[in-house]
Structure 1
């Protein structure tokens, strides 16, 4: 446990028994429901093998790891339609966040089920106003599920890896300064943006990298008809397919999706005429609407969600 951690935070989690709790779930379950003030939980370096859920009543939680490399929350679970039905993907998480106004920083969340078992979620977040800073999300298929219609999520300086559809779901999410690492020839995003939402995923100033043997990766395919994804000012490796986007063998969705790019660089950032005809290259005036504050903030946040307003507006 880091010196002074007990005094600085409300609770300390340490696997060696020197903190208030030995597991994250015990600390979350012990926190006050719908607290008046934010609840801060420090997690000491260690490997925490557990399935963790931040309940809807656990609002205003700050989860702070001692270091992103050595504070590791891990579990091994994957899709098993026989045991849990056709929607069992959504049971496979390592960390599930349902409580609004959640933040996490300096920790790793991973699903170790492996590449040969299908869907296996590391992070499942359906909370509104959830922020992740300097975190790693490790897995294969369906690593990060950003969910919740109308929910807003922000990823800053994070590392996300996977094989297929490893960023998926229907939330509005902004990824800034993140590394997006592909481990197989497949698809990065599978957005299911609701048609009433003005934005889906925005990747800004990100780096798209891949394992050495990977050479054909699409930026996205639509999980649902109105998928909305934009890559802005990002560095695209040579593993990105020149077509850029895929219609999931459903030509009808080409009329409803919004797949956009602006000022990307790197060998994967080809001329617009090499991309599929139903994607778009944004103009400087068009890209302005994708600013973080415009995507993630609402008027009421200034008064009723000051922590979120501070995170997004700074």
Structure 2
């Protein structure tokens, strides 16, 4: 049994005025904070909603008509400046912030239109900072830092502040997220953060940033088109990012994209039965100029396939695991760490 659409707990968003609200943020503001068994369903009609959305209420179910036609987009970016002259930085650049537990989103595109990171810096399509958050058949589109899976690490590597709306929030031990049959597009570190996140049957698209028109802007790493992940898994967690039956695709040049690099030294990433295109580099993983991380990261693969899937050329501090080890990365095992979650029931009926 899934989530029922109870009378009086459904809000319709339509730009033509035929619903309860014309914008997504209006619907979020109107929605009551729910509880287990008492969800609010927000149905978003087809349209391109250019707005910056902030969600701070639990037990919301956002349902689009189709991800190709239901689009939430904005164009903030890290180098943009506030009226006082200070920069937005990474974590103010989001299009949508999921800042509560127990949220489901389905059939929606979340996009940041600011442009290439070489020109504008980081530009998040989605900032997801909650436990038991589920996305189904959604699309996340950007360039650098497309999808942030919160929480923030304990402290910045440089400077005294991350900036952004979640600065100073109390630290919690568990942040679990599930991305099912989603499409995620970007180039540099475009899936990054500290959450335990499982990606099932997703398409992970690496954009080519080494185009002729952009070549003059690519001053650092002129032969690298990107990194898929930059995990900051907290010390002591069993899981970070787990990709199961995903496809790593894109238009980046051959051998120009790494599977990941460690934002923090305890990063954990696993690719289980994933197909990898020719854009994936033979060595697979990058230490981000932090050789000490090679002794602490957990980077593993099981039954990778495709032209980018090689075992003999991977860095020695990654591992090809066997079937028994791969079983520990099953969806239920990963999502149940740290507490119960009826993830199988998170579906609208």
TM-score (norm: length of structure 1): 0.91
Instruction: State the aligned residue count.
Output: 301
Give the corresponding residue for 1:24.
24
| 1:131–1:220 CA distance, 2 compared to 1 (3 A) | same
* Partner residue of 1:211 out of 222, 231, 251: 251
Contact 1:182 1:211 in 2 (8 A): yes
1:239 Cα deviation from its structure 2 partner: 0.5
Distance in 2 of aligned mates of 1:161 and 1:192: 20
Matched, 1:274 2:317: no
1:164 Cα deviation from its structure 2 partner: 0.2
Contact 1:183 1:214 in 2 (8 A): no
Distance in 2 of aligned mates of 1:169 and 1:212: 23
Cα deviation 1:20-58 (Å, max 9, x = unaligned): 000111101111124461110000000100000111xx1
Give the corresponding residue for 1:48.
49
Matched, 1:133 2:136: yes
Unaligned runs of at least 5 residues, structure 1:
none
Kindly report the root-mean-square deviation, in angstroms, between the aligned alpha carbons of the 2 structures: 2.1
Matched, 1:144 2:179: no
Cα deviation 1:145-184 (Å, max 9, x = unaligned): 0012520000000000001000000000000000000013
Give the corresponding residue for 2:96.
95
Distance in 2 of aligned mates of 1:8 and 1:186: 46
| 1:147–1:217 CA distance, 2 compared to 1 (3 A) | same
| 1:173–1:85 CA distance, 2 compared to 1 (3 A) | farther
Distance in 2 of aligned mates of 1:311 and 1:217: 34
Unaligned runs of at least 5 residues, structure 2:
152-172, 209-224
| 1:284–1:264 CA distance, 2 compared to 1 (3 A) | same
Give the corresponding residue for 1:156.
180
Matched, 1:264 2:263: no
Give the corresponding residue for 2:79.
80
1:86 Cα deviation from its structure 2 partner: 7.2
- Give the SS at the match of 2:25: helix
Give the corresponding residue for 1:11.
11
TM-score (norm: length of structure 2): 0.82
- Give the SS at the match of 1:287: helix
- Give the SS at the match of 2:328: helix
